[in-house]
Amino acid sequence: MWVEFKRVKGLKAAEMWKTLYEGEGLPTRIMPDRVEQWGDEFAEFKVCIPRAREHVAEEIERKV
């Protein structure tokens, strides 16, 4: 099950977080806040990680 961990403005920012987390071995998905906005790179995106792995994402952010 995936849970929302972070919301960011813009596709580039969402991809940056995805790359950071996956580089540390944490599977990550990015999804637009609303489906109609998928093609809009300036929309708000949700960065999702597996449930019960939030502590891993928090530790990755502490290292940055």
Cα 44 off chain centre by: 11
Q: What is the mean pLDDT of residues 40-57?
A: 91
pLDDT computed for residue 33 by the predictor = 84
Q: Quote the CA–CA distance of 39 and 58 in Å, as a whole number.
A: 29
Tokens 């708000």 locate to 44
Contacts of 1 (CB under 8 A, 6+ apart): 50, 51
Supply the pTM of this predicted model. 0.86
pLDDT computed for residue 37 by the predictor = 64
C-alpha Rg value of the chain to the nearest Å: 11
Domain chopping of the chain, boundaries: 2-63
pLDDT > 90: percent of the chain: 78
